[in-house]
Structures are given as structure tokens and as C-alpha cells.
Amino acid sequence: MASKTVGVVGGMGPAATVEFLARLVRATRAARDEDHLHVLVDSDPRIPSRTAALLHGAPSPAPRLCAIAQTLERAGAEFLVMPCNTAHAFIDAMRGAVGIPILDMRAEAAALVGEGPVGLLATAAVVRAGVYDRVLRARGLALVSPPDADQNEVTALIAAVKAGEPLDGLRLRLRRIVVRLQEAGARTLVVGCTEISILHEPPPELPSVDALDALVEATVREAQDDAR
């Protein structure tokens, strides 16, 4: 069966883009190569820092994100996905630059949350700029963010994944943060950073929603629904 062509705005970071593609392949029901989705990828690590723009007034990544979106549209993409939570702070500008849909991984993740309060694991920019606040409030969900010390540790873990450090020790450090979020009242955990998605191993006692998995599921659904 034919499916819509997916355009991936990637490179934020490269490992997260590769992780998204690997999960997308695993999530697609296929018995042969031809059953998989047609995916166009622009993985550009030169996109200006989303965190620096949101927290420190550095140059906005929006112009580069819009240019990549337009390139993918011209190449034949019929809808776009962006496996970077922080970059979703600029999704409105991107939607104004193209004529094809852009899936919102924040909204897809929020739709899977069963109950709050929600413990959020994300970049400092996502937390402080309220990137997830609107979509969670729309579903009546309260937010529990890590205290500053733990948020700094999350930032360090993200940097370690981007630098290619071994994952096992990093996972133990993340687990301690998750325990403290649960002790602070979180009833569901939202993994709102794609580097943390690479690290996170859901604890059985705390329901978890991984925004990267939510985006993968939405991508398969959008590509196959009403396929030509």
C-alpha cells in the first residue's frame, strides 16, 4: 500500500535523529523493504542552538528550521516531523513557511498521558520557556519540574549523550532524578528530550510517556492514513 512521504527535520542532535529513524523502522508493520515508509531526512547539526536562543537571546534557529522545512517540502515530503522537543518552541514559524502539515510531538505525548501531575524530563529551555505547559494545561494536567540541581543534572546528561559517552552510568544518574520526581508527586513521567529518550528505561512503578515514541506512532499513523 502506498503511503505519504515523511520529511524529517533532523540533526538536533544527530544521535536523536538516528534513534527516531530506528524506532520508526521498528514501529512500521512490514514484511519486506517495500512495505516501509518513504522518508526524506535533512540532518543538519549546524542549526543554531535552541537552548541558547530561548534562554540567552542567541540567534534564533527559526530561519534555518524554516529553510530546512521548505527544502523537504520541495523534495516531495507530504508532512514533516521534528524529533527535537526544544525546537518545537519554533514550530509556529515553521508552519507559516510551508504548505504541508508538521506534527507536534508535544501534543502527541500529552494525548497519551493518563493522569497527572506530570514529571517532565527535558532541556532547561523547554522547562523555563514553558514549551510543554500549554499542551499539558489544555488537558488539565499539572506539571512537576525537577529542582534546579536535578535540572542541571539533566542538562549534563543530555550533553553526555550528545558527546557519545557510555550510557550505563548515565542511566543510573537519570534513575535517581526520576525517583525524586515521583517523590515530589509525579504520577506520570513525560520524557521530553530526545537524548533522554536514548537513556530512559521506564520504571515499572511510574507510567512513562516518551515523546519520541509518541512522535513515531503519529508518524506511522499520518503516513498510512488516507495514503494514496
For the chain, the 3-state helix, strand and coil shares in percent, each to the nearest 5, are 50, 10, 35
Within 10 A of 103 (CB to CB), how many other CB atoms are there?
18
**Could you tell me how far CA 116 lies from the centroid of its own chain?**
20
66 has catalytic annotation: no
**Could you tell me how far CA 161 lies from the centroid of its own chain?**
15
Q: Residue 120's beta-bridge partner residues?
A: 190
Q: Are 215 and 108 contacting, i.e. CB atoms less than 8 angstroms apart?
A: yes
Cell 558527546, residue?
163
Give the active site residue among 193, 209, 214, 216: 193
Give the active site residue among 66, 84, 98, 107: 84
How open is the CA angle 217-124-43, to the nearest 5 degrees? 50
**CA-based nearest residue to 8, from 38, 31, 32, 40:** 40
Active site residues: 84, 193
